[in-house]
Amino acid sequence: MFNVPAVVLSTIALLVLIEAGREWLLTDEENNTFLLYFAFIPARYTELYPGGLGAQVWTFLTYALLHAGFVHVGVNSIWFLPFGSAMARRFGTWRFLGFCAITAIAGAALHLLTHLYDPLPMIGASAAVSGVMAGSLRFVFQSGGPLAMFRHNDDAAYRVPAASLAVALRDPRIIIFLVAWFGLNLLFGIGAPSLPGIEQSVAWQAHIGGFIAGLILFALFDPVPPHAETDPAGPA
């Protein structure tokens, strides 16, 4: 945590600056207009909203830069620091940013599919955070990886060959993580309307969209060549 990649720190700083600008520099009316242009609003695709066709495209990404207050920024940043750092060390700056972008887009897409005609704006980096969380599962538990019991080189730990998706989904540690993560998000969907300090409901479908995209699309961005793998459960 004391050697956080610059791209991760810069991303968090950008999120804080945007939130500070909205809260301290914009009036309520200006902030509402800002959200109409840059938040993800499902009803935008069936009704006329500011920004027109351009906003229908760019809001698939820009919503992830906006938050519902500093508490919201803080919660996302706390999760982004460890998982984003692991992914940034492995991917490098541009692959990492591309991966964050595609998982944010996937989160918005699933939110749109499950909230057609909804006029409420969705904001927050949670889909991208969920994406890097899922992507990190593909390598952190590998032999010699960041969470391995024995490793000799910190940099090398982030460059171990990743598990294939099929192998990863048979790893008991990853299965436990998936059950806990999906269970928590389903709880948000059934009975937990919001997080403390955040009035808006949690867009849990976007979390799931980003997570699934991160888990599946990891290999398209991974610069480390794969190698022959064995089942983590061992031979039958």
The pLDDT assigned to 230 comes to 42
Residues 119 and 219: beta-carbon distance below 8 Å: no
Is residue 12 a contact partner of residue 77, using CB atoms and an 8 Å limit?
yes
- Rounded mean pLDDT for each run of 10 residues along the chain, 236 residues in total: 87 98 96 96 94 96 96 95 95 97 98 94 96 95 76 77 92 94 79 46 87 96 75 46
Q: What is the pLDDT of residue 184?
A: 85
Give the pLDDT score at 202.
Answer: 73
Say what the pLDDT of residue 3 is: 81
pLDDT at position 148 is 66
pLDDT given at position 149: 55
Domain 6-221 superfamily per CATH:
Rhomboid-like (1.20.1540.10)
Nearest to 71 by CA among 171, 197, 157: 197
pLDDT of residue 1: 53
Give the pTM.
0.88
Q: Can you give the pLDDT at residue 144?
A: 84
- In the chain, the amino acid numbered 105 is I
How much is the pLDDT for 43? 96
